[in-house]
Amino acid sequence: MVVAVVALALQRNLFAVVVLSGVYSFLMASVLVALDAVDVAMTEASVGAGISTALLLGALYLCGADHTKPLHRPLVPLAVSLATGAVLVYGLLGLPEFSDPQAPIHRHVAPRYLEDAVRETGVPNVVTAVLASYRGYDTLGETTVVFTAGVGVIALLRRRRGEKAGR
Amino acid sequence: MRHYLVLRVIAKLVIPFMLLFALYVQFHGDFGPGGGFQAGVIIAAALIFYAIVFGLPTARRVVPDRVVETMVAAGVLLYAGVGLAGLALGGNYLDYFVLAADPVHGQHRGIFWVEVGVAITVSGVMLKIFYLFAGRRRADDEA
């Protein structure tokens, strides 16, 4: 992953950047599988590596550009990202230890979901039970967000075509 | 892409299995990893693959814009409809317990339809975005 990230940062060929970000997504999916988050890994592999790579390649084709100009002053962005990274790492120090069973997140509602989900919903995959049943409102909201994004893209790109036809 | 014979043959072989896998992910999401969102994305990916190999006009003939746009809205409406069905049967909004005589069975039914709604919207949106992106150059050329 580190290799992919460094190559991404140094690469000026946009085609290679798109392909490398697909590679990065696949590696991220493997990491998520290793962390036992199979549902998230599946989403990452299909959305991050699949669809978004295809869409980015499409965008690249539309722009007709395959090289970016080297940035004039990479120092300011570098400083900003280093500062953000430092703040995030500082925040990490305050978190409970990795996979600590006594961490607050594992003691709030998670035990109830794990113990009662199969009995209450009859669905052995607790992730699905939580997403669709316990957090039904959240998922409805998410679906609405996806819907809104789609409608937004339709509205934006449709209008351009309409203007062209009107001329 | 018209002339890559190997690619076309492989695509024809693989796409049915991709769609089948999407259905597996959709309906087996209760028992294994997966669910509506993943299944929707896989369906869209299969169709985008088809569009890339066989050309956008062919794909638009197989899955017309009208169908895709209907899917975008139909999924959300289905999801919201499941919520309203819970209301109509005397429960709260998005209450699945009342959807069947047996509460556990009701949960199962509610989750199933909700996931179907998510899959329809997600695949519709992804496909629509791809159609619009891929169709741009053609529109510019025509103008």
Nearest to B103 by CA among B88, B89, B119, B117: B89
Q: Which domain holds residue B51?
A: 5-142
Q: Do B121 and A137 touch (CB under 8 A)?
A: no
* Per-residue pLDDT at A165 exceeds 50: no
What percent of chain A has pLDDT above 70? 80
Backbone angles phi, psi at B16, to 5 degrees: -60, -40
Q: CB-based contact (8 Å) between B34 and chain A?
A: yes
User: In angstroms, rounded to a whole number, what is the distance separating the alpha carbons of residues A32 and A26?
Assistant: 10
- The pTM (predicted TM-score) of the whole model is 0.76
Work out how many domains chain B is built from and give that number: 1
Question: Is A153 in contact with B132 (CB distance < 8 Å)?
Answer: yes
Indicate the residue of B33, B34, B139 with minimum beta-carbon distance to A161. Answer: B139
Mutate to test the interface with B, among A62, A121, A163 (most CBs of B within 10 A): A121
User: How confident is the model over B80-127, as pLDDT tens digits?
Assistant: 888 888 787 777 777 777 777 777 777 777 888 888 888 888 888 888
Q: Do A121 and B105 touch (CB under 8 A)?
A: no
Mean pLDDT of B46-74: 85
Question: Is B88 in contact with B9 (CB distance < 8 Å)?
Answer: no
Q: CB-based contact (8 Å) between A146 and chain B?
A: yes
Number of Cβ atoms within 10 Å of the Cβ of A166: 6
Amino acid at B28: H
Nearest to B49 by CA among B136, B139, B134, B142: B134
